[in-house]
Amino acid sequence: MDEDAHDQDSPERTPTVACSRCNHEWDLEYELEELHAGNSAVEQFAMDHYRHTGHYPDDVTPFRVDCQQCPQGEQFLSERPARRFAKTHARHTRHAVELTTPDEDTETVQQE
């Protein structure tokens, strides 16, 4: 058989996400077909995985936002909502909020 034919038959390969803690790999057909997650299918999967298992799949590291003065804290998979959460929390509560990027850079956000 011609092995090249395989690649041409599947121009839109379903993306997959692996988790070494679960020792499993998933294709994202559900996210794409049922949730219409499109480009954010990986993000959607990662958030659901965290919600249900308490950890993120491989290659996904969130932005973490932690208030230094109260138990408020959230995790985000992109910088914009993380920054917005930190800023609004600081704005409404006047608390200092720590923002940690996936590279482990930390930054303190506070109301000026």
Residues that bind Zn ion (CB under 5 A): 19, 21-22, 53, 67, 69-70, 72, 93, 95
Give ∠ CA 91-92-97 in degrees, rounded to 5.
60
Least distance between Zn ion and beta carbon 46 (Å): 10
Q: Which is nearer to Zn ion, 24 or 36 (CB)?
A: 24
Q: Which is nearer to Zn ion, 8 or 59 (CB)?
A: 59
Least distance between Zn ion and beta carbon 50 (Å): 9
Q: Which is nearer to Zn ion, 19 or 86 (CB)?
A: 19
Least distance between Zn ion and beta carbon 58 (Å): 8
